[in-house]
Amino acid sequence: MVEPLRRIAAFLREKQILHKLGVVISLTIIASACYILYHMLRNLDGDKVIAALGETEWHTVALATLCVAAGYFTLTFYDLFALRAIGKSGVPYRVAAFAGFTSYSVGHNVGASVFTGGAVRYRVYSAWGLTAIDVAKVCFLAGLTFWLGNAAVLGMSVAYHPEAASSIDQLPPWFNRIAAICILMALCLYVVWVSAKPRLVGRGNWTVTLPGGSLTLLQIVIGIVDLGFCALAMYILVPEEPDVGFVVVAVIFVSATLLGFASHSPGGLGVFDAAMLVGLFQFDREELLAGMLLFRLLYYITPFVISVVLLTGREIIIGTRTRREASRAQALKDASASESS
């Protein structure tokens, strides 16, 4: 059974079918989102959106900011977990936190996070002796934590409230509930599978040992906490009326986030917004859009600006230190040459 699957995977890689299919899916999602946004926002009252932004109370924004900060703090453990899993325990938490925060902030906004976030990680971790292969393994395990958390949150919330997912995918609630239960069953089977014995993926130097059962559960918990804080921030910023409940907002938020990632558009721009507007149709469009703009400011733009400042400052410090060391070495060389002469 395993060998035929390997042959199929090898054939798909050779023909680049998965890559081409991914491009088609991304373009389809983006095109659909643009069509939906055009029809939903063409009669939008911009003055009402601005008024809704101005009426948002400061403590609401402050509470949402704390939730976003808590989410990014949890996100730093993605990298710490991955580093420990590949045996790079010498890298301290502060470095893992810096690399995790900046790579995700840049990747979220620029798009193609696998490459942009990976480039930021390599720039940070290479100073600690990690190779490109090590960084690729960190990216893989950090991504695995993210997707396991997404699957757990989506599975549990949709199984509990399938109607929320139906507002986006337009499928019957019973179908969504069955799909959610299947996702949860697949997660359980995966935990059992990695618990049975060490599981390896990849080839040669690219081989990664998957975390065992207990560590996989820790991965899932990290992902759930991260997404939970982010969904809570979105829930705080949506209009108070009507009260749809946190679970509904969480289902739609996670679904919109996944669609945004699948589209590879910077920050899920357009795709995330269209999914949120369709899923939360109960709210006033202008008030909901105001909340989404605030969320984008807090979760995307502000961390991105902070990351750019931090990375720029780091490069300036490294450059200054390198020039200083080069000058000192040259001075020593010149002094040695004078003494010998």
Question: What pLDDT sits at residue 178?
Answer: 93
Tell me what the mean pLDDT of segment 200-227 comes to.
85
Long-range contacts of 213-222 (CB under 8 A, 24+ apart): 215/81, 215/85, 216/148, 216/190, 216/191, 217/191, 218/81, 219/81, 219/144, 219/145, 219/148, 219/149, 220/148, 220/149, 220/152, 220/187, 222/74, 222/77, 222/78, 222/81, 222/145, 222/149
pLDDT of residue 2: 40
Task: Look over the chain and give the mean of its residue pLDDT values, rounded to a whole number.
Answer: 81
What is the arithmetic mean of pLDDT over 253-275?
A: 76
Every domain of the chain and the residues it spans? 22-305
Asked which of 1-5, 140-144, 313-317 is least confident by mean pLDDT, the reply is 1-5
Would you say residue 19 has pLDDT above 70?
A: no
Distance CA(59)–CA(268), nearest Å, equals 27
Token duo for residue 69: 């900060």
CA angle (24, 252, 100) in 5-degree steps: 75
pLDDT at position 84 over 80: yes
Q: What is the pLDDT of residues 289-324, one digit of tens each?
A: 888 899 989 998 899 999 989 988 888 888 888 778
What pTM does this model have? 0.81
Per-residue pLDDT at 72: 92
User: Residue 295 has which token pair?
Assistant: 């969320």
Checking if the pLDDT of 70 tops 80, the result is: yes
